[in-house]
Chain A
Amino acid sequence: MLYSAVIEYALNLCLYYKGIIFMKVLVPIKRVVDYNVKVRAKSDESGVDLANVKMAINPFCEIAVEEAVRLQEEGKASEVIAVSIGTEASQEQLRTALALGADKAILVQTEVEVEPLGVAKLLKAVVEKENPDLIILGKQAIDDDANQTGQMLAALLNYPQGTFASEIELKDGGIEVTREVDGGLQTVSLSLPAIVTTDLRLNEPRYASLPNIMKAKKKPLDVITTEDLNVDVMPRLNTLKVSPPPERASGVIVETVDELVDKLKNEAKVIT
């Protein structure tokens, strides 16, 4: 163990002097309901019914993995580590990340449903252990749509952040992030270590091929617990109820434009 660490250090040093960037990328990923699934609220309104539902890697997280793997393929990153926080079942999604090209995976196993702040605190602890130069997260998870973890992590670590990235480029020892903002694109330049969150257009993730699925089984996947990281993840929010959106009422066919205008004015009250 120590021996291999020394070799790795020496190797790093050699590459460093050769001018090759040696960047470690951490990619946090979340297990969520597959985006194709039509979710149903439980009848007691306590949450979404997850029984027998297909689960998958959150699409934005998948984009994050793809981006990290591309950096590695371009020789700009040396190691890609995927990390997930969740139940044992999240190993499935970590294996997907490994099959897509991540080198190793860490599962922070917990039975509690961890909220964004808890996730950010756990990730901070992982960052302090792994010392990545770049952390790429999805901008949000499609289950709770919170869009908070990346920003909270940046604040906790006091790292610069480039959120909603549609393009990233390593430049002058830092990273340039093109962000999708209202009405256009904004480019920010961050020094490393930095946090990037992905938008939909950053890339189109590849399929994990059969050989890579097989290879992924042999890659390391470490399991630790929230206690190992000494982080309190007790929820601070209280979900009152989860209910489906109201069913769309069926439309009516109007006979004339006048009738339409009348209805828009007097029934829908959207024009005056």
Chain B
Amino acid sequence: MNFDLSEDQIVFQNLAKEFAAKELAPFAAKWDSESYFPKEVIEKAGELGFCSLYVPEEDGGMNLGRLDASIIIEQLSTGCTSTTAFITIHNMALWMLSKFGKEKLKKEWCPSLSSGKKLASYCLTESGAGSDAASIKTTAKKTNDGYIINGSKSFISGSGETDCLILMARTGKEGAGGISCFLIPANSKGIDYGKKEEKMGWKNQPTRIVNLTEVKVPKDNLIGEEGQGFKIAMQGLDGGRINIATCSIGTAQAALSSAQQYMNEREQFGKKIGEFQALQFKLADMTTELVAARHFVRLAANKVDNNHPEATTYSAMAKRFATDVGFNVCNEALQIFGGYGYIQEYPLERYVRDVRVHQILEGTNEIMRMIIGRRMMMEDATNLVQ
């Protein structure tokens, strides 16, 4: 067992760190305040390979593992949480296409999605189907040469700016088994985008409702087989949850660094605030929990890489833990900054706003507990955590 990064991983990490420091961090506050979606920067990230991290080479991807991807994503998110989080959603949606799509569809879409020239949204949630995602109502009705899709998706990240939708719709009976997965070109006739949601964080990427009325898609746009859609969506999320957890870790690391530096600068009562033991203890706890969370995420990534039978449970545990720790660390870092943490002059309040949603999306942390809890109630479950 070896806990050190490999030589390659160090090189990947350095590249992502440099990219974050030069191309993301200096602009993140402005993008946040202007709700600006930096597509040209995402494309630049794509040129370096960040838009197709764990997609195979034949589809234009980098063919890295989830652990490699996590190491890269962590660095990117130190620069801009929201932009990085979107890049991870794109990676997830592209992976679903690459893993389960038919050759013809892949030929058409994979090269431009892998290079980041085009972007993808992941469309599962509906107004009435959030945590209970298997209850979606959007339908795909089979015709002679394809499907006709009707329904509405909520909270779709990137929508209105992306080029295709990887969308779950019902082709069959009620429940998870009746759901299928489709690629729908974003400009298809019958698609109508709602207004940009006004959000607490993740402000630099649009989140919209997507309404679909009699949208025709060719039969080759079905990803996987009919009825497999929910499984595909959940497999995407196993990786997605690791990515989102990683975005919390990277942001928390940035918050920790800021706080540590501030403790060495700010003076009150005639000394550096870092000399107060109460704050040193706070910093100690933040660091301890952050390191624990980072390694949990890497462990889960490793389980997904190795197709471990409990990969889903580990992903859920890592997502729950790391997004909670990530939020707490950012929040405590804000506290260390006092009033200055609360104003936009410093990035702390943005860190807090941005990581908050990681506890909610790609499965809420309650749903993560549900996944873990169900598994733990099975007879052999204690072996899982040895």
> A residues bordering B, Cβ < 8 Å?
92, 95-96, 99, 207-211, 213-214, 217
**Which of A95, A207, A211 contacts B62 (CB under 8 A)?**
A211
* A residues less than 8 Å from B7 (CB atoms): 92
Q: State whether A209 touches B48 (Cβ < 8 A).
A: yes
* A residues less than 8 Å from B11 (CB atoms): 92, 95-96, 99, 213
Within 8 A of A (CB), among B272-311: none
**Which of A92, A99, A209, A213 contacts B47 (CB under 8 A)?**
A209
Given contacts A95-B11, A213-B11, A213-B12, contact A207 B19 (CB under 8 A): yes
Shortest 5 CB-CB distances between A and B: which pairs? Answer: A210-B49, A209-B48, A210-B62, A209-B49, A207-B48
What is the distance, in angstroms, from B228's C-beta to the closest C-beta of chain A?
30
* B residues less than 8 Å from A99 (CB atoms): 11
| Other A-B pairs, 14, CB within 8 Å; known A207-B48, A210-B53, A214-B62 | A95-B11, A96-B11, A207-B18, A207-B19, A209-B15, A209-B47, A209-B48, A209-B49, A210-B50, A210-B64, A211-B49, A213-B11, A213-B12, A213-B15
Q: List, sorted by A's number, 5 A–B pairs whose CB atoms are closer than 8 Å.
A: A209-B47, A210-B12, A210-B62, A213-B12, A214-B62
- Complex alpha-carbon distance, A187 and B316, angstroms: 63
- Main secondary structure on B side of the interface with A: helix
What is the distance, in angstroms, from A95's C-beta to the closest C-beta of chain B?
7
- Complex alpha-carbon distance, A214 and B8, angstroms: 9
* B residues less than 8 Å from A95 (CB atoms): 11
- Main secondary structure on A side of the interface with B: helix
- Complex alpha-carbon distance, A63 and B12, angstroms: 21
- Complex alpha-carbon distance, A213 and B50, angstroms: 13
- Complex alpha-carbon distance, A23 and B64, angstroms: 36
**Total A-B residue contacts, Cβ distance less than 8 Å:** 30
- Complex alpha-carbon distance, A238 and B12, angstroms: 39
Closest to B44 in A: A207
* A residues less than 8 Å from B12 (CB atoms): 210, 213
The CB with the most chain B CB atoms within 10 A, among A95, A207, A208, A217, is that of A207
What is the distance, in angstroms, from B14's C-beta to the closest C-beta of chain A?
8
What is the distance, in angstroms, from A214's C-beta to the closest C-beta of chain B?
8
What is the distance, in angstroms, from B285's C-beta to the closest C-beta of chain A?
24
- Complex alpha-carbon distance, A243 and B12, angstroms: 34
- Complex alpha-carbon distance, A210 and B64, angstroms: 10
- Complex alpha-carbon distance, A209 and B45, angstroms: 9
What is the distance, in angstroms, from A215's C-beta to the closest C-beta of chain B?
11
* B residues less than 8 Å from A208 (CB atoms): 15
- Complex alpha-carbon distance, A92 and B19, angstroms: 19
- Complex alpha-carbon distance, A271 and B104, angstroms: 79
Closest to B10 in A: A92
* A residues less than 8 Å from B64 (CB atoms): 210
Closest to B63 in A: A214
- Complex alpha-carbon distance, A10 and B11, angstroms: 38
Within 8 A of A (CB), among B27-79: 47-50, 53, 62, 64
* B residues less than 8 Å from A214 (CB atoms): 62
What is the distance, in angstroms, from A38's C-beta to the closest C-beta of chain B?
12
* B residues less than 8 Å from A213 (CB atoms): 8, 11-12, 15
- Complex alpha-carbon distance, A95 and B15, angstroms: 13
Closest to A34 in B: B14
- Complex alpha-carbon distance, A9 and B62, angstroms: 36
Closest to A209 in B: B48
Closest to B52 in A: A210
- Complex alpha-carbon distance, A213 and B16, angstroms: 12
* A residues less than 8 Å from B53 (CB atoms): 210
What is the distance, in angstroms, from A92's C-beta to the closest C-beta of chain B?
8
* A residues less than 8 Å from B15 (CB atoms): 207-210, 213
* B residues less than 8 Å from A211 (CB atoms): 49, 62
What is the distance, in angstroms, from B258's C-beta to the closest C-beta of chain A?
16
Closest to B22 in A: A207
Encode contact with A along B1-24: 1 for CB under 8 Å, 0 otherwise: 000000110011001001100000
What is the distance, in angstroms, from B278's C-beta to the closest C-beta of chain A?
28
